Amino acid sequence: MVAGTLKAHIEDAVEVMQRTGAVMVPRGEAEVLAAHVFGVPVAELALDGEPDEESLARYRALVHRRSEGVPLGYLTGSASLSGVEVEVGPGVFVPLIVSEAVVAAGLGAIAELPAPLVVDLCAGSGAFALAVAHHAPGATVHAVEHDPDALAYARRNRARRAALGDRPVELHQGDVTLPATLAELNGTVDLVLSSPPYQPQEAAVPDEFGVHQPREAVFGGPDGLHVTRHVVEAAARLLRPGGTLVLEHGHQHGETVPALLRADGRFTDVSEHPDAYMGYPLYALARRAAP
C-alpha cells in the first residue's frame, strides 16, 4: 500500500499539472484521470481510501503524460460532446467542450423541422454529426472527413451510437474543398455545421494541438482560413434558401469570418457568437439567401 489518500494524490497531480501549465483545468482533469484509472465516475471516487501501488503508478504516469500536453481524450480514449460520448485517440481531433455551443446553435436552427437534412463538414471523430443525430432523431445527417485515420474513429463511433438507438449518420470520405463533394445534395440541405482546421500555420499553439493532434485537423494554411473559405463555398452550394450555416473559427477570426460570409453575397443574417467559457469569438451563423 502506498501512503496517502487518493485525495492527497489528486492534490499532488493538480500541482504537477499547474507547474507545467499545459492543462487549463488541472483539478477537473486530475479527477477525470483518477476516475479513468479506478473505473468509476468522478462522483464515486473513494477519496479517503489509499490507492494500491499499481493503480497509483498508472495514475502518475497518466498525469505525467497529460502534463506533457497529450490530450486528455487520448489518455482516457473518449471525449464527450453535447452529452454524446465518442471514442478518440491518436490520429483524430479531440472535440472541444466549447464546440457544444456550435452544436446547440445548429440544433436550434432545425428545431422546428420534423425531418431536417444536415451536413457536418470536416467531421473528425463524427462528434458534431452524432450529437445532432442523437438530439434531433428525425434528422438525416451526413458527415464528410478526408483523413482515413479520423474516419476510422468516426465509423466506430457511428456503429456505437447506432447500437444505442440513434439513427446512423452517413459517413463520407471526401474533401470539402472539392465541388463534387456531396454535390447530389446541392440546394437541399437545412443545416451545415463545420469546425474546420483554423489555426494559422505559424500560430504558437499549446503542444496539445501543435504536437499531439493531427496537423491537418489544427492548421488551416497561412491565415488559418484555407479550409474555412472552402467550407463557405460548400455551404453556399449545399444549403437550400433559408438554410443555416454554423461555422466554428479561431478566436482571432471573430471579424474575418463574418466578413467573409458577408462578402460572399450568398448569405444573409450573418451573426457572430462567443464561446460560453472565456467569451472569445467562436462561431459565425448565417442563412443562405434566396438566389
Ligand X SMILES: C[S@@+](CC[C@H](N)C(=O)[O-])C[C@H]1O[C@@H](n2cnc3c(N)ncnc32)[C@H](O)[C@@H]1O
Residues that bind ligand X (CB under 6 A): 93, 95, 99, 122-125, 127-128, 144-147, 150, 175-177, 195-197, 216-217, 227
Burial of 163 (0-12, 13-18, 19+ CB in 10 A): exposed
Q: How far is the CB of 12 from ligand X (least distance, A)?
A: 31
Residue 63 or 81 with smaller CB distance to ligand X: 81
Which CB, 6 or 227, lies closer to ligand X?
227
Cβ proximity of 185 and 111 under 8 Å: no
Q: Strand, helix or coil at 284?
A: strand
Residue closer to ligand X (CB basis): 51 or 73? 73
Closest contact distance (angstroms) between CB of 121 and ligand X is 7
How many Å apart are CA 281 and CA 265, to the nearest integer?
A: 22
Name the residue number minimizing CB distance to ligand X. 124
Residue 218 CB, nearest distance to ligand X (Å)?
Answer: 7
Write the burial class of residue 210 (CB in 10 Å: 0-12 exposed, 13-18 middle, 19+ buried): middle
In whole angstroms, the minimum distance from the beta carbon of 118 to ligand X comes to 13
Taken in order 100, 102, 91, 87, is the CA torsion positive or negative? positive
Q: Which is nearer to ligand X, 6 or 157 (CB)?
A: 157
List, in order, residues 6 or more apart from 159 with CB less than 8 Å away: none
